[in-house]
Amino acid sequence: MCRLLLYFGKELDENILNNFLKQATHPKNTPGFDNILDTDFHLDGCGFTWFNNENKWSLIKYPNIPSSIPHFRNYNGIFISHLRNQGDSLASPSIENSHPFQYKDHIFCHNGKIFNFCREKLLPHIDSFFIDKIEGQTDSETIFYLLLSFFQQTHCMQEALLSFHNLMNSLEIFYIGNFIWSDVTQTLICRVSNHPEKKPCSLYYSNNYKLFSSEPLCQFFQQFPEQEIFIIKNDFVPKLKIKKLNV
């Protein structure tokens, strides 16, 4: 599966970013987790997005892995990145299939798998306005616009995620997912699943809630609990709300 990074801080830590990029080419390091779906090597595209001084997202995406971290101009406090492993997906490496995905103020990336993905089953539940926005072939991009369709109704990320979870159950579509979903006010990060046997991939966070990653990137870290949603206000001192997903 893919690798995720969410970072809050007034300045970017180059060691963290370089160590994250190394996860593309190094075997996995997932202490405390023994999930066969956590794979080695993530070479099938990547993306970097950050909140800038104009209070907007800047986004760079690649169909492969760059040799070094690019320059993040006008960085202003929030950084999200993704390394893609295509796995058995038919969505080949490309800019369109690389995460994160963006729609206006919303940024989204996903580490996980839809085991019996069928876009045709999900399209009736996506607002027709968003269907034309889908550019690639990944299940993750489809999930993003499905979540945005639910968000339109409630203007609440948590409620949108719960609606998505309930829909997948009703359609009997099994998924595991670590999601990062952010807008200009807050960020949702979660480690969830509706699969009866398979658990979500690895995810860790720092003790101060400023760093979340698929593999540990700091000295003191904790395992992200399964079936929980963290809602974090987008400021330099993250304020955390923890929500349990009702399964």
What structural domains does the chain harbor?
Answer: 3-244 (3.60.20.10)
What is the token pair recorded at 23?
A: 């996860």
Question: How confident is the prediction for the chain on average, in pLDDT?
Answer: 91
For the segment 45-88, what is each residue's pLDDT rounded down to a tens digit?
Answer: 999 999 999 989 999 999 999 988 899 999 988 999 999 988 76
- Residue 245's pLDDT band, with cuts at 50, 70 and 90, is low
In SS3 terms, the chain reads as CCEEEEEECCCCCHHHHHHHHHCCCCCCCCCCCCCCCCCCCCCCCEEEEEEECCCCEEEEEECCCCCCCCCCCCEEEEEEEEECCCCCCCCCCCCCCCCCEEECCEEEEEEEEECCCCHHHHHHHCCHHHHCCCCCCCHHHHHHHHHHHHHHHHCCHHHHHHHHHHHHHHHCCCEEEEEEEECCCEEEEEEEECCCCCCCCCCEEECCCCEEECCCCCCCEEECCCCEEEEEECCCCCCEEEEECCC
- Residue 161's pLDDT band, with cuts at 50, 70 and 90, is very high
Q: What is the mean pLDDT of residues 199-205?
A: 95
- Residue 1's pLDDT band, with cuts at 50, 70 and 90, is confident
Question: Is pLDDT larger for residue 116 or for residue 191?
Answer: 191
CA-to-CA distance for 182 and 80, rounded, in angstroms?
A: 9
CA–CA distances in Å: residue 136 to residues 27, 82, 131, 179, 186? 28, 16, 11, 18, 26
What number of other Cβ atoms are within 10 A of residue 15's Cβ?
A: 10
- Residue 122's pLDDT band, with cuts at 50, 70 and 90, is very high
Q: Name 2's Cβ contacts closer than 8 Å, sequence gap at least 6.
A: 42, 82, 83, 84, 85, 99, 109, 110, 111, 112, 214
Which pLDDT does position 247 carry in this prediction? 43
Are 133 and 101 in contact by the 8 Å Cβ rule? The answer is no
Lowest mean pLDDT among 18-22, 34-38, 100-104, 167-171: 34-38
- Hey, which residues does 230 pair with through a beta bridge? 189, 242
